[in-house]
Structure 1
């Protein structure tokens, strides 16, 4: 086994990640919200929440509608059940998201619209429900929705899987100057080493960056 390790040492899945502006540009095109089908509204809400919180699909699937606290300027979401990072006597994991000035990519505005659209149809108190049978969905379904958004935005999902949103958003936050402590708190990482080893990546240039930089 040691020989295998020396011959083929473990390495991270991604050496670089994609520019979040690519996905945001696509999501902003899904507007106004009242023109979207429930399917597309769901995909947009999940994708924006994934981008703005850097959460695992498991966590997104565990958010409860009963635990949503909306102040009008921000929203607080609490996970229910046991998560990958749950520990004994640990309080429920919560994330906070603020209103954003541009409504076409505001996660709070999109979530409020989604909650209102599913209010009379839902058969589960989980935040995200199937747009077919209106019951709770699992993490794999959440990942499938995010993958659909990535494909539609032009991101190569043969290389970048739905979980890559976690690294792309946290790397973008780090590049923008957000403190490591705030990144770790938001993404629910206990150690900076975890972020550095598995998620902090250089961001691949977009097509427009390459073209416009030729001036």
Structure 2
């Protein structure tokens, strides 16, 4: 389960093994792994300083965190270290290390010394990226290689759903998890039942509507190249022969061909797709691209296009509208997030 010292502390209280396992399951496996890694760093630091990590006085904990500040670590990093220490340390008089008055005051001071800055302006332009996804090497989709087909499908799905990379990573091609309606007018997706979401209760099925073919000047209809349902169906059909398990997105490159990709690799695909969309139009790809900006841009554009904040929070698995507002610092007041976001390029071209 990870966090051995947390298990030890709970065991000394006399709790049964099954109870301890349930308590430790309150955190996602990735969180437990991260805390375990941070705790080991603290353990090594205490060993060098001659202290017992899980029983050290509060002054030792504060000195370690001051060392992090002196090394110019971000405030968010210091918070993670504190959470890991609080999970494994025995605490003080029935309270965790993070609840000690001196620790609380230290964190307030650290926040003032290390102000959190978050850019409210995305590093990339949504219309430019969507336009690039309509061009070579992403189109024609049926003739694109698996690399570019994957690079187009993942960002379209991310933009259409406003989901976290971890949520997209948990999707499966199993018939019980991915279902297309007749005519591919809609797809219903739900994560693998074994997936533990970051936000408890957010692991719910979600549907994406197919974009109707737009009318051209002659009155005929042409395929919507930004339809996420079309891209997803094509990707699943093309990846059938090489996939080795039911995870939706698999590697197309040797020696991992057909094997499930990691969350980090999915993040790289999205960033690479954004950069390639720029270069395909002979534009300089912006620096500092981050995959989380896709989620932020999707929710922000949906809000701009008139989608209610309740629908946005439900689609993006935000715990509450207040969480959404505070994260993006928005003043909040299309029935579909996917249409609002991916339809941006079409609406802009029609008004020009």
TM above 0.5: yes
Greater helix share, 1 or 2? 2
Map Cα deviations across residues 54-91 of structure 1 (whole Å, 9 max, x no partner). 1111111110111101112100111121111134xx7x
2:88 counterpart residue number: none
Q: Do 1:167 and 1:200's aligned partners in 2 also have CA atoms closer than 8 Å?
A: no
Please state how far the C-alpha of 1:201 moved relative to its aligned partner: 6.0
| Structure (1 or 2) with the larger CA radius of gyration | 2
Q: Is the CA contact 1:150–1:156 (under 8 Å) kept in the aligned structure 2?
A: no
Whole-angstrom CA distance in 1 between matches of 2:318 and 2:109:
32
Residue 79 of structure 1 corresponds to which residue in structure 2?
191
Q: 4+ runs of 1 displaced by more than 3 Å? A: 199-202
Structure 1 distance, partners of 2:314, 2:114, is 33
2:208 aligns with 97
Structure 2 counterpart SS, 1:110: helix
Partner of 2:121: 16
Greater share of strand residues, 1 or 2?
Answer: 1
Q: Quote the offset at 1:119 in angstroms.
A: 1.1
- Cα distance, 1:95 vs. partner? 1.9
* The one of 154, 168, 179 aligned to 1:69: 179
Task: Compare relative contact order (CA 8 Å, sep 6+) and give the higher one, 1 or 2.
Answer: 1
1:17-56 maps to which residues of 2 (within 5 A)?
A: 17=122, 18-29=124-135, 30-56=138-164
Q: Distance in 1 between matches of 2:158 and 2:287?
A: 16
Are the structure 2 counterparts of residues 151 and 77 from structure 1 closer, same or farther at C-alpha, using a change threshold of 3 Å? same
Query: When the two structures are superposed, what TM-score results if normalisation uses the length of structure 2?
Result: 0.53
Change in 2 beyond 3 A, CA 1:194/1:103: same
1:200 to partner: Cα distance: 5.8
Partner of 1:55: helix, strand, or coil? Answer: coil
Please report the TM-score for the alignment, with normalisation by the length of structure 1. Answer: 0.85
Asked whether the 8 Å contact 1:61–1:142 carries over to 2, the reply is yes
**Residues 39-66 of structure 1: CA deviation (Å, up to 9, x unaligned):** 1001100010011111111111110111
Stretches of structure 2 that go unaligned for 5 or more consecutive residues are 1-105, 213-222, 279-284, 332-352
